[in-house]
Amino acid sequence: MNNDFGWKHLPCSFMNENTVYLIIMAMAKNFYNYFIEKVAEVFEDIKPTTRLKRFIFRFISVAGKWVYSGRQWVLKLYTNRPYEALLV
């Protein structure tokens, strides 16, 4: 938690602003833990203990482009990873 969500260096010198910052970062961390559990069920190289930087490079950084096909815009991803399995 010290490196990924900025708890090592607090942004302000006032306790009120730091408290709000810590609460928001705790909510972001809880959402990240929930989301990474769901993604780890589908992708084999992402584990529930994966840190934020590795998650970004393995899951979010994907080459793609929007293609106009059949009177609608479709996102074409250039990968063989199972992103469609995450749709609910």
Q: Which tens digits make up the pLDDT trace of 24-53?
A: 988 999 999 999 999 999 999 999 999 889
Query: Is the Cα torsion angle 85, 5, 29, 33 positive or negative in sign?
Result: positive
- Phi-psi region at 6: left, alpha or beta (left = phi > 0; alpha = psi -120 to 50): left
Residue 8 resides in a domain = no
Structural domains of the chain, count: 1
Residue 55: enclosing H or E segment and its boundaries? helix 52-55
Q: Which domain holds residue 73?
A: 15-86
Residue 46 resides in a domain = yes
- Give the pLDDT band of residue 78 (cuts 50, 70, 90): very high
Residue 45 resides in a domain = yes
Residue 66 resides in a domain = yes
Q: Any idea how long the chain is? A: 88
- Assigned token pair, 15: 């306790």
Whole-model pTM above 0.85?
Answer: no
